[in-house]
Amino acid sequence: MRFDLQVIASWIKPGSKVLDLGCRTGSLLSYLTQEKHIIGTGIEIDEDAAGQAISKGLSVIHGDIYEELEDYPDNAFDYVILSQALMQVSDPETCIRDMLRVGKLGIVSFPNFTHYKNRLQMFFTGRAPMSKELPYEWYNTPNIRVIPITDFLRFCEGMNVPIVKEVAISTYHHDEKGRVITFLPNLFATFGIFMLGQSKG
Amino acid sequence: MSEYIEHNADGPSVGLVKKETFTFDEGGSGLTLDSGRTLPSVTLAYETCGTLNEDKSNAILVCHALTGDSHVAGYYNEEDPKPGWWDLMVGPGKPIDTDKYFIICSNTIGGCMGSTGPMTRNPETNHPYGTSFPVVTIGDMVRCQRRLVDHLGIDTLLAVAGGSVGGMQVLEWSVRYPDRVRAALPLATTTKHSAQAIAFNEVARQAIMADPTWNKGDYYETGRPEHGLAVARMVGHITYLSDESMRHKFDRRLQDRVELSFDFEADFQVESYLRYQGNKFVDRFDANSFLYLTKAADYFNLENQHGEGSLVSAFSRASCRYLVISFTSDWLYPTYQSKAMVKAMKKNGLDVSFCEIEAPWGHDAFLLPNDRLNGLLSGFLNRVSNEITGDK
Half-sphere exposure of A41 (CA within 13 A, CB side): 27
Of the residues A39, A67, A71, the best mutation for testing chain B's interface (the one with the most B CB atoms within 10 Å of its CB) is A71
As a whole number of angstroms, the distance between CA B357 and CA B370 comes to 9
Residue A55 — very low, low, confident or very high, per pLDDT cuts 50/70/90? very high
Q: How far apart are CA B383 and CA A58, in angstroms?
A: 8
Q: How far apart are CA B293 and CA B313, in angstroms?
A: 27
Task: Tell whether B353 lies on the interface with A, counting CB pairs under 8 A.
Answer: yes
Residues 6+ apart with CB under 8 A from B4: B82, B85, B280
Q: What is the pLDDT of residue B10?
A: 64
Answer whether A58 sits within 8 Å of B349, measured CB to CB: no
Average pLDDT over residues A68-91: 94
Q: Within a domain: residue B171?
A: yes
Helix or strand (DSSP H, E) at B162: strand B159-163
| Subunit contact A51:B376, Cβ cutoff 8 A | yes
Mutation for A interface: B185, B311, B322, B346, most A CBs within 10 A: B346
Distance CA A113, CA A146 (A): 6
With respect to residue B210, please indicate whether it lies within any of the assigned structural domains. no
A44 to chain B: nearest residue by CA?
Answer: B355
B356 touches chain A (CB under 8 A): yes
Q: Report chain B residues whose CB lies below 8 A from the CB of A56.
A: 379
Nearest CA in chain A to B357: A47
The C-alpha atoms of residue A17 and residue A13 are separated, in whole angstroms, by 9
Is a pLDDT exceeding 60 seen at residue A28?
yes
- CB contact (8 A) between residue B347 and residue A59: no
Output the pLDDT for position A174: 62
Within a domain: B334:
yes
Tell me: is residue B176 an annotated ligand-binding position.
no
Give domain status of residue B228, yes or no.
Answer: no
CB contact under 8 A, A51 and B349: no
CB contact (8 A) between residue A57 and residue B351: no
Contact A57 B342 (CB under 8 A): no
Q: Are A60 and B325 in contact (CB under 8 A)?
A: no
Specify the pLDDT at position A172.
66
B302 neighbors B192 (Cβ within 8 angstroms): yes
Does A76 sit within 8 Å of B375, measured CB to CB? no
| Contact between A71 and B382 using a beta-carbon 8 Å cutoff | no
pLDDT tens, N- to C-terminus, chain B (392 residues): 565 556 555 678 999 999 999 999 988 899 999 999 999 999 999 999 999 999 999 999 999 999 999 999 999 998 888 999 999 999 999 999 999 999 999 999 999 999 999 999 999 999 999 999 999 999 999 999 999 999 999 999 999 999 999 999 999 999 999 999 999 999 999 999 999 999 999 999 999 999 999 999 999 999 999 999 999 999 999 999 999 999 999 999 999 999 999 999 999 999 999 999 999 999 999 999 999 999 999 999 999 999 999 999 999 999 999 999 999 999 999 999 999 999 999 999 999 999 999 999 999 999 999 999 999 999 999 999 999 988 76
B380 interfacial to chain A (CB closer than 8 Å): yes
Q: How many domains does chain B have?
A: 1
| Active site amino acids of B | 164, 330, 363
* Residue B276, C-beta contacts closer than 8 angstroms, at least 6 positions apart: none
Burial zone of B124 (CB within 10 Å; 0-12 exposed, 13-18 middle, 19+ buried): exposed
Chain B residues with CB under 8 Å of A57 CB are 379-380, 382-383, 386
Cβ-based contacts of A64 with chain B (< 8 Å): none
B356 domain-assigned: yes
Tell me phi and psi for residue B367, to 5 degrees: -100, -5
**B chain contacts of residue A58, beta-carbon cutoff 8 Å:** 353, 383
B111 exposure class (CB count in 10 Å sphere: 0-12, 13-18, 19+): buried
Establish if B187 touches chain A: CB-CB under 8 angstroms.
no
Measured CA distances, B152 to A149, A177, B114, B149 (Å): 62, 55, 18, 5
Residue B355, burial from CB neighbour count under 10 angstroms (0-12, 13-18, 19+): buried
Check CB contact under 8 Å for B355 and A47: yes
Strands B20-24 and B42-49: antiparallel
Q: Looking at CA atoms only, how far is residue B196 from chain A in angstroms? A: 25
Which of A141-155, A179-193, B315-329 has the highest average model confidence (pLDDT)? B315-329
Is B147 part of a structural domain of the chain? yes
Q: Which chain A residues touch B if contact means CB-CB below 8 Å?
A: 39, 41, 47, 50-52, 54-63, 68, 71-73, 76
d(C-alpha A159, C-alpha A83), whole Å: 20
At A183, is the pLDDT very low, low, confident or very high (cuts 50, 70, 90)? confident
Type of residue found at B103: I
Neighbour count for residue B9 (Cβ, 10 Å): 13
Q: Tell me, yes or no, if B185 comes closer than 8 A to chain A by beta carbon.
A: no
Confidence at A104, pLDDT banded by 50, 70, 90: very high
Question: What is the band of A201 on the pLDDT scale with cuts at 50, 70, 90?
Answer: low
Q: Which of A41, A55, A73 sits opposite B376 (nearest CB)?
A: A55
Question: Helices (DSSP H) in chain A: which residue ranges?
Answer: 3-11, 27-36, 47-55, 65-70, 92-102, 116-125, 149-159, 185-188
The reported pLDDT for the residue numbered A175 is 67
Give the model's pLDDT for residue B40: 95
What is the pTM assigned to this prediction? 0.95
B314 touches chain A (CB under 8 A): no
Residues of A in Cβ contact (< 8 Å) with B351: 39, 41, 59
Domain membership of residue B163 as a residue range: 20-193+300-391
CATH at residue B50: 3.40.50.1820
CA distance to partner chain B, nearest, from residue A82 (Å): 19
pLDDT of residue B389: 87
* Record: contact B339-A63, CB cut-off 8 A: yes
Name chain A contacts of B382, Cβ cutoff 8 Å. 57
Looking at the domain assignment, is residue B366 inside a domain? Answer: yes
Residue B203 C-alpha, separation from nearest chain A C-alpha, in angstroms = 35
Shortest distance, CA B15 to any CA of chain A (angstroms): 27
B364 has binding-site annotation? yes
